[in-house]
Every structure is written in structure tokens, then in C-alpha cells.
Amino acid sequence: MKHEAAKGRGATMQIEGRFENVVRERFDDGWDSAEEALPPFKTTVTVEHAKSVIQRHDSPDLPFDYSLNAYRGCEHGCIYCYARPSHAYLNLSPGLDFETRLFAKPDAAQLLRAELAKPSYRCAPIALGSNTDPYQPIEREWNITRQILEVLAECRHPLSIVTKSALIERDLDLLTQLAQDHLVQVFISVTTLDMEIARKLEPRASSPRRRLQAIARLNAAGVPCGVMVAPVIPFLTDAELEKILEAAYAQGARSAGYTLLRLPYELKELFKDWLATHYPLKAEHVMSRLREMRGGKENDSNFGSRFSGGGLFADLLAQRFRIACERMGFNLEDRALDTERFKPPARGGQMDLF
């Protein structure tokens, strides 16, 4: 079911999830209803009562063992978000539903405290923002990420954060406290410096300028904040790789990474429709180059290549990134997070005997 591009929304269509057994299609029934303007998509938030909040990972591609997501869905509306297909598990669309029908876990901090208190728990850095952004707009009202940080700061537990929101500046007090003991590493994702592209790619995320300001303010406060050039989109944002790194370095970033655009499951159709809507003259060039970097396919889910791609153009991209980082001085320090300071919370609210 296709829609025109809507202001403030990323997806251009409301596609069915891969588990649905029906397909809905808009058509003209002769009463001119097909030409009527559709009502705007409003953001709704549903409370989700989870049983646990720490997800464990064994992927060789991921630099962390644990992750935590306070929300399902993301109001930023980034069309390229690889988490969009996860909404299909809720019988919702990975398209506009993903950015308008959100789920919040208000008891996440309480559940986290209980899991950290288990005798079997072994401390390892927890990644916030591995699936949906912990600082998406609804965090201003719900404050779930803030509560999670309070628990982790209290327990001296290490964590990493990836976000594209300047809202992270709100929590500088906690982040500064954690940074003093080498317990936190932040990465801010910058996809493009072009405001026009950014408005279409990631309509409700902070502007590229504000993200660079956030990098500067975090580093000035002593919180190590790097930059993720992610995702790199051939023929659309790939030419900006070095410019983004230079801009982030000027704001104090000393760690950097990048990922190539990924298109798992329904995201292929969503992204191709977005390209045809906003960049029709580039659409085929983008997809052709992406297939060259993905072994002839539109997506590659294999470990070792899913984040960086393969082939000549992927190798050239990796080489450009490496040379730029070496020239500017990125990734020279090993900023391992400290796991020795962890103090489990008291079980059941009782004081420890010793």
C-alpha cells in the first residue's frame, strides 16, 4: 500500500510484514476516494512489559556481548534502518508503522537492576542503541534511557552508546561521572552533511550540524565520543566519507567506524521505493553499485562481510576509510572499558552481609 512522501516521515509506503497472509492495496472504487488525502500518521506509544531487557549476542561481527533496547520502533524514521523488519514480529508494518507505532519499556531500569543482581551475571559492556535509538524523540517524555544510565552509574557498569540525537547532552552529568572511571564510550552516527539529503533520509533525527555539536560538547566534558559514518550509501553519501571524518575530528572525535548500507528482508522494497520517490535518476545506479558490493545480491547477511561488503568497490571504500583515519589520527588509542569496577546491586533490596 503506497503513500506519497509525508513531511517528517521516512518511509514512502506501508508495506506488509513478511509474516502477514494478506496484502492490502489502495485502489479507485469509482467514488474518487483514491484521490482523497490520507490523514497524517500520528505517533502512538504502547507500554511493553518485558520479562528481561539484556539481550546476549555471540556474533563475531559485534564488538559487544550484551545489548539493551528501551524501545521498539523509532520515531527518527530513518529509511535505511536495518531494525525496520523487526516490526513484522509484532504483525506491524516495517514501513510507516515502524516510525509511528512505538513500544516503550518503562520498567527497563527495574528489570536491569534485577538481572545485574543475579549471582550468575558476568560483567561485560552493555550496548545501548544497537537496534533502535535510545535517544529518539519520545525519550524526552519517557526518560527510560536516563533511568537505565542511573542504574549503570550506580553499579559502575560499563556501557557503549550509539545515537544520532543531540538529546544525549541531557545526560552529560551521568556520562561524565561514568567517563571518569573509563566506563562509557559514545558514538554519534553521521550519515551525511547535506541537510537536504538528511531531511529525506532521517527526517526526525537531529540535524548533522547538531550532531557535530554534540560530539564537541561530549568530548569537551571528558566523555569519549567518536563518529560512525553509517550507513554509507553508494552514489548518495559515499563521496562524503572523508568530509564527515574531518568534521567530526575537528569537534574532538578520535574514534571512528563505518558500515555499508544493509537491506535485510522488507527493507529492500522500502528503500527502493524511497529511492524512486526522492532520487529517481540515481535509483538504479545506487542499487547496481550496492549489488556489486554485495556479491550480486541486494543484501548479504554473512558474518565478516555484512557490515562492509565485498568486491572491488567495497575494498576501495575500506581503503579510503583506513587512509583517512591514518591521515587524521583516528583510532590510535585502545579505549577498553573497565569491567573491574562493577558492583552488583543488592538482591531483593537487602544489604550485603560482607
Tens-place pLDDT, residues 254-269: 999 999 999 999 999 9
pLDDT in tens, 283-293: 999 999 999 99
Task: Tell me the pLDDT band of 14, cut-offs 50, 70 and 90.
Answer: confident
| H helix or E strand, kind and range, residue 230 | strand 225-232
Whole-number Å distance between alpha carbons of 223 and 139 = 21
Q: For residue 28, is pLDDT > 70?
A: no
- Mean pLDDT over the full length of the chain: 92
- Average pLDDT of the residues in 271-286: 97
| H helix or E strand, kind and range, residue 285 | helix 283-293
Q: What is the per-residue pLDDT for 63?
A: 87
Q: Minimal CA–CA distance to 112: which of 51, 45, 186?
A: 51
Domain 46-332 maps to which CATH number in 3.40.50.20, 3.50.50.60, 3.30.360.10, 3.20.20.70?
3.20.20.70
Lowest mean pLDDT among 70-79, 199-208, 343-352: 343-352
- Average pLDDT of the residues in 77-92: 96
Q: For residue 35, is pLDDT > 70?
A: no
> Which segments of 19-138 does DSSP mark as H helices, in order?
96-100, 108-116
Q: For residue 1, is pLDDT > 60?
A: no
The one-character DSSP state at 125 is P
pTM, two decimals, is 0.91
Lowest mean pLDDT among 6-10, 101-105, 127-131, 307-311: 6-10
Q: Minimal CA–CA distance to 265: which of 18, 5, 9, 12?
A: 18
Percentage of the chain beyond pLDDT 70 is: 91
What is the phi/psi pair of residue 84, to 5°?
-55, -45
Lowest mean pLDDT among 35-49, 70-84, 179-193, 236-250: 35-49
Q: For residue 112, is pLDDT > 90?
A: yes
Q: For residue 51, is pLDDT > 90?
A: yes
Q: What is the per-residue pLDDT for 17?
A: 74
Instruction: Please calculate the CA angle 165-167-168 and round it to the nearest 5 degrees.
Output: 90
- So where are the chain's domains? 46-332
Q: What is the per-residue pLDDT for 354?
A: 47
Whole-number Å distance between alpha carbons of 232 and 152 = 32
Task: Tell me the pLDDT band of 40, cut-offs 50, 70 and 90.
Answer: low
Lowest mean pLDDT among 74-88, 127-141, 333-347: 333-347
Q: What is the per-residue pLDDT for 6?
A: 79
Whole-number Å distance between alpha carbons of 103 and 72 = 5
- Average pLDDT of the residues in 197-207: 98
- Average pLDDT of the residues in 13-19: 79
pLDDT in tens, 135-191: 999 999 999 999 999 999 999 999 999 999 999 999 999 999 999 999 999 999 999
> How many Cα atoms within 13 Å fall on the side-chain side of residue 190?
34
Other CB atoms within 10 A of residue 248 CB: 27
